[in-house]
Amino acid sequence: MPMLATTAERLPRLNRFGWLMGLYGENHGRFQRLFAPARLAVGRHRSSVGDGLDLHLDVIEQHRYTTELRLTYAMPDPVTGEPDPSAWLRVYHDTRQLEATHCYIGRRWQDVIGLYPPPAEVVGHRMRMNTFLGKWLEYLGERGHGIATLHGPEIVSEEVIKTA
């Protein structure tokens, strides 16, 4: 009698890296629908929807295949003075990926996972950052932020450019 393969054996497993790449793709779609980053000029763009919580979208650099950005509210962390929360983003236009390279949500990545973390810890941290980014982008869309609410660009400070 031949052995039948179970459904679990026939389905390919998605590893953590594959899941992370999927998050990058989903976040790109959300971000593209909200802000169309390839069309934005370098500088600070502000989005105001009348809730008293203005969003800043800093376009740091615009290249042929990538865009470097920072997404933040203008709320300073009481301890460090850094805008909190903020996410540093890299858009890969050719592969349609959006990566949160680092986030500041009360603490820096070095404080969370250390200076020399094992690769699994890095992937896990990137998954958490990009999951946070996806939820934040969904929230921004629900609040009404988007390309129609952006004003600018203004000059981005040298401090922001240096930390990119």
Please write the tens of the pLDDT for every residue from 124-148.
888 888 999 999 999 999 999 999 9
Is pLDDT above 60 for 74? yes
Name the percent of the chain lying above pLDDT 70: 76
Structure confidence by residue, pLDDT tens digits, 31-60: 999 999 888 999 999 999 988 889 999 999
Query: Concatenated DSSP letters for the chain?
Result: -PPPPPHHHHSPPPPHHHHHHHHHHHHHHHHHHHH-GGGPPSEEEEE--SSS--EEEEEEEE-SSEEEEEEEESPBPTTT--BSSEEEEEEETTTTEEEEEEEESSS-HHHHH-SS--HHHHHHHHHHHHHHHHHHHHHHHHHT-SGGGEEEEEPPPHHHHHH-
The residue with greater pLDDT, 87 or 158, is: 87
Model pLDDT, residue 155: 81
Model pLDDT, residue 106: 47
Predicted TM-score (pTM) of the model is: 0.78
pLDDT-based confidence at residue 154 (cuts at 50, 70, 90): confident
The residue with greater pLDDT, 81 or 65, is: 65
Is pLDDT above 80 for 164? no
